[in-house]
């Protein structure tokens, strides 16, 4: 499963990209507004930094407007994936953009039937919102599993399942087990994924034991060893 970062904060993207595990980024109008920066410049910077799929969302309410905005956004970088809402107008725009060779991430999916429509419209990605369904007392991850199963039974569908509205590390793990092709993860969950108290305790114990050797410069030790061969 590929890992995308769900943020428009360039500094955080740069930080997590340095881990070597980041495959792409998703943004939305709320995330862009939160940063208070120029929209196009922000998307361009993210594309230069990641060199992977970067979702940028249209805001027009009608198909014609979405298509126009989508083509403009796609012109920012080859890495831009146009994010389109799962509405009748959004489906129409997805079809037109897909026919023009522009990848679309159809967002705000809450049931498998919507995912079937998005796939038929030519979506590159479908984004079921796990956390928002959980908030309503429903099993958001079951929707991910159901969509993945439907797509698997229809090999002509090339749309990838992008688990979104991820709230916890458990969500990430369940998405991977449930057949999602991608999970888009907020920075705080990305940070939580790498942390475990036993990892921290074990590392501290190793470093304490290592201090007893008196070696503080491994590079110097390797150089000395090579010189004595």
The pLDDT value recorded for residue 229 is 75
* Dihedral pair phi/psi, residue 105, rounded to 5°: -110, 105
Q: What is the pLDDT of residues 151-199, one digit of tens each?
A: 999 999 999 999 999 999 999 999 999 999 999 999 999 999 999 999 9
Tell me, yes or no, if 83 is annotated catalytic: yes
- Picking from 193, 191, 194, 187, the residue whose alpha carbon sits closest to that of residue 11 is 187
- Cβ-based neighbour number of residue 73 at 10 Å: 23
pTM of the model as a whole: 0.93
Domains parsed from the chain with CATH numbers: 2-193 (3.20.20.70), 197-227 (no CATH)
Element (H, E) at 36: none
Q: What is the pLDDT of residues 63-77, one digit of tens each?
A: 999 999 999 999 999
- Choose, from 83, 153, 158, 212, the residue flagged as catalytic: 83
The pLDDT value recorded for residue 228 is 80
**Cα angle, residue 111 at apex, residues 107 and 113 outer, rounded to 5°:** 100
């Amino acid at each position: 499963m590929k890992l995308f970062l769900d943020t428009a904060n360039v500094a955080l993207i740069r930080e997590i990209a340095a881990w070597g595990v980041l495959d792409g980024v998703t943004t939305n109008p709320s995330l862009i507004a939160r940063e208070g920066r120029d929209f196009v410049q922000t998307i361009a910077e993210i594309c230069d930094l990641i060199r992977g799929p970067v979702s940028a969302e249209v805001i027009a309410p009608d198909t014609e407007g979405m298509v126009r905005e989508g083509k403009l956004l796609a012109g920012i970088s080859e890495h831009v994936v146009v994010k389109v809402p799962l509405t009748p107008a959004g489906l129409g725009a997805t079809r037109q953009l897909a026919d023009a060779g522009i990848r679309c991430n159809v967002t705000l999916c809450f049931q498998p039937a919507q995912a079937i429509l998005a796939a038929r419209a030519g979506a590159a990605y479908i984004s079921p919102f796990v956390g928002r369904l959980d908030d309503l007392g429903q099993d958001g991850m079951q929707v991910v599993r159901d969509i993945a199963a439907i797509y698997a039974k229809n090999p002509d569908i090339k749309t990838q399942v992008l688990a979104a509205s991820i709230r916890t590390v458990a969500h990430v793990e369940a998405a991977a087990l449930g057949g999602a092709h991608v999970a888009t993860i907020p920075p705080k969950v990305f940070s939580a994924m790498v942390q475990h108290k036993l990892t921290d305790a074990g590392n501290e114990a190793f470093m304490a034991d290592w201090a007893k050797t008196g070696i503080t410069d491994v590079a110097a030790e390797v150089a000395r060893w090579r010189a004595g061969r």
